[in-house]
Amino acid sequence: MKKNITINLCGRLYQIDEDAYELLSHYTDTLRDYFKKQEGGEEIANDIEERIAELFDDLKERGVEAITIEHVQDIIHQIGEVEEIAGAGEVDTEPSGSASGYAKTGQAKKPQNNKKFFRDSQNKLLAGVLAGCAQYFGGSADAWRWGYVILSVLWFCIIGFWPLTFTLPFATCPVFGILAVPLVVLSILFSLLPVCVYLLVVIFAPLTKTAEDTLKMKGKEVNPQNLVAEVQEATLAKEKKKNGKSGWDIFLGIISVGLSTFFTIAFIVALCFFVAFLVASEQMADKWWNVYEIEDFEAIYIPVICCGVLLLTSIGILLYCSIHAAVSSFGKTKSMSAMQRVIWFLLWVASTVGFIGCCVWGVGRLTKVQSARWNARSARVIDESLTDALGNVFSKEEWDFFQQNGWEMVTAENVDRYTYIGEYMTGDESVRYLDDCNDYTPLVYTARKHEDDVEPGIYRLSAVVKANNDNKFIYLYGVTIDEQTGDSTVFTDQVLEIPNCGLMGGNIWKALKGEPEKKVVTKESSTLTVGAVTVPLSSKVVVQNSELVNDPVLMEYVNNMSDRTKRRILGANNGQGYGWSYIYIDSIKVDNPHSTIFYGVTTDENITGKPATTGWFSATDFKLEKIGELK
């Protein structure tokens, strides 16, 4: 059922349906635009409207209550046939009331044979650019649309993506970091060059608004006959489009449904991550974050918040537009206007560019913080006022570490530092430990601490260590002092080599992974057993057997860790471990209450009996504990 409206034409009222009114308005507006360029054109347009009113009166006399689009089309056909008479040149200026002539003045308009590029308003989906290309260059609008989509995808995947991958590393470069945002934006624009060209055409190419514009776009002569024909053609095309959907519309509907589903999932996932980040930030405390993790977190907090908001906005725009496109493609609502589409597109571009910019900003801030921390960690700023009795000069951090933990340097040759931070077994970069490195000259390093008046009993010295070369040791020796004579006696002297695991693995990491260490058992024998046969040997040899063992002391140490510590050790160094091992010297007997035990880490040949080597070592978590009583 069509809705009827009442119009006032030349002072008379008529009932007309909406489609007929739209066609009539388009027709009269087009003819007024045409005749206003001629002398006396306003009078001609009024005369035409008067004639239309007369024809409407005839219809009312025949009993027509409401004028339909068929009636208007018939009237336009009649008037168009009359106007054909004026195509040759000048005509009489006296008005005529008959259906066979009109008063006109001036000369007929010169033929318009040259095409002019317009955006096609009748067949547009977005802004009418590709439909206009089809009218101007030839071909179907759908073919131009398919070609544009394929070209845009190929351009981005093959040509446009490379500048983007080239400029993103600038975000992590301290020197060129300030150029990262404009370079990335320019790369994005180059990647989206087909879209940028489309937008430029939208800005500078006019949109067809009248039938005269449409005739110019098609390269047809602008005359009354063609104007009327164009109005009728536009009306029929509109009716056809309203009554049925094209294959392109159905295809867009299916694609829009798929995109809306994808963007819905993407929006939910992004929202969950964003909320999780906010919740985690609220629960941040020293027991959850070490000092350097907090430093990194504070560097990226604001950029991540901005990224989250902009990403949700970008995905939300795509989600809304895809849902609207899906609904409108199946005729459930009207399509967006060109202005709405441009506004939504510009908002999406702004949010996407803002998201990428915030990502670059966050990466730059994090890189800056980590670079500063790395430089501070690597640069050993010594203080001449911090010198021990042996003349060893310390940095402020090293001095505080040695004083607070009771360490003292005994020997230091070819060393470039005494301690280090970072690469602890849990990944906690705030933990400081004994450490030295020299890749060119064998380093001689001995640091020790002591415990006085150790009670009699059986003791164990344990430590957490790592190294990348041989001949790095932990050591222990005990001294008893005779109260009467004051003489000192060494009652134990032991060394234990640090495993050479480098920066991966280590027995702590392997024990947590369920990969027990191989223990090498060395024994002296005068016979060699092969299977069930025992073979006597002519001389004493050393036989080495390798066997898988679950070291009970190591497993006890690992099992006493908290679940969070275990997870952090397993996740450190991208899940490869940092090479830390738990080692111990067992069964240390102390039978005199006036005993002092010295222990620490060393590479000194005078203590270990092995020559010093190059490379590095780290040692921490030393613990001297009583594990039993003397029998």
pLDDT digits (tens, 9 = 90+) for 421-436: 888 998 888 899 999 9
Ramachandran class of 570: left when φ > 0, alpha when ψ lies in -120 to 50, beta otherwise:
alpha
**Residue 457's pLDDT is what?**
93
Q: The tokens 């060109």 sit on which residue?
A: 338
Across 493-517, average pLDDT? 86
Dihedral Cα 293, 295, 299, 302, nearest 10 deg: 80
Q: What percent of the chain has pLDDT over 90?
A: 23
| Residue that wins the pLDDT comparison between 532 and 142 | 142
What percent of the chain is modeled with pLDDT above 70? 74
pLDDT of residue 583: 94
Which stretch of 128-132, 429-433, 514-518 has the lowest confidence by average pLDDT?
A: 514-518
What is the 3 state secondary structure string of 557-605?
HHHCCCHHHHHHHHHHHHHCCCCCEEEEEEEEEECCCCEEEEEEEECCH
Q: Is the pLDDT of residue 86 over 90?
A: no
- The residue with tokens 């941040």 is 284
Question: Residue 525 forms beta bridges with which residues?
Answer: 541
pLDDT at 612 over 90: yes
Q: Ranked by mean pLDDT, which of 41-45, 54-58, 113-117, 618-622 comes out on top?
A: 618-622
Confidence of residue 199 (pLDDT cuts 50, 70, 90): confident
pTM of this prediction exceeds 0.85:
no
Residues 354-365 as b or e (16 or more Cβ within 10 Å = b): bbbbbbbbbbbb
Confidence band, pLDDT 50/70/90 cuts, at residue 626: very high
Q: Distance between terminal CA atoms of the chain?
A: 109
pLDDT confidence of residue 459: 95
Of the candidates 564, 561, 477, 56, which has an alpha carbon nearest to the alpha carbon of residue 289? 564
Average pLDDT, the chain: 77
pLDDT, tens digit, 9 for 90 and up, residues 228-249? 667 667 766 666 665 555 555 6
For residue range 345-373, list pLDDT tens digits in order.
889 989 988 998 888 888 888 888 877 77
pLDDT of residue 112: 44
More confident: 417 or 18: 417
| Contact (CB, 8 A) for 518 and 586 | no
Distance CA 158, CA 165 (A): 12
Of 388, 415, 413, which is closest to residue 399 (Cα–Cα)?
A: 388
HSE (side-chain half, CA atoms, 13 Å) at 61: 6
E strand residue ranges, 339-417: 382-387, 393-395, 408-413
**Burial of 195 (C-beta count, 10 Å sphere; 0-12/13-18/19+):** middle
Task: Return the pLDDT at 9.
Answer: 78
Residue 82 DSSP SS3: helix
Instruction: Encode 487-543 in three state secondary structure.
Output: CEEEEEEEEEECCECCCCCCHHHHHHHCCCCEEEEEEEEEEEEECCEEEEEEEEEEE
Higher pLDDT, 522 or 1: 1
Give the list of residues 6+ apart from residue 21 with CB closer than 8 angstroms, or none.
5, 7
- Alpha-carbon span 230 to 210, nearest angstrom: 10
pLDDT of residue 440: 87
Higher pLDDT, 579 or 7: 579
Q: Is it the case that residue 302 has pLDDT exceeding 50?
A: yes
More confident residue, 563 or 374: 563
Top pLDDT among 279 and 502 is at 502
- Per residue in 306-349, pLDDT (tens digit) is 999 999 999 999 888 888 877 776 666 676 776 787 888 889 98
φ, ψ for residue 65 (rounded to 5)? -85, -40
Q: How far apart are CA 425 and CA 463, in angstroms?
A: 13
Please report how many Cα atoms fall inside a 13 Å half-sphere around the Cα of residue 510, on the Cβ side: 18
Give the whole-angstrom CA distance, residue 560 versus residue 621.
Answer: 14
Please tell me the distance from the alpha carbon of residue 323 to that of residue 336, in angstroms, as a whole number. Answer: 12
In the 8-state DSSP scheme, what is residue 431?
-
Which of these ranges, 119-133, 177-191, 371-385, has the smallest mean pLDDT? 177-191
Residue 597 or residue 7, greater confidence: 597
- Structure confidence at residue 39 (pLDDT): 60
pLDDT of 287 strictly over 60: no
* 248: helix, strand or coil: helix
Question: What's the confidence (pLDDT) of residue 432?
Answer: 92
Q: Which residue has the higher pLDDT, 2 or 337?
A: 337
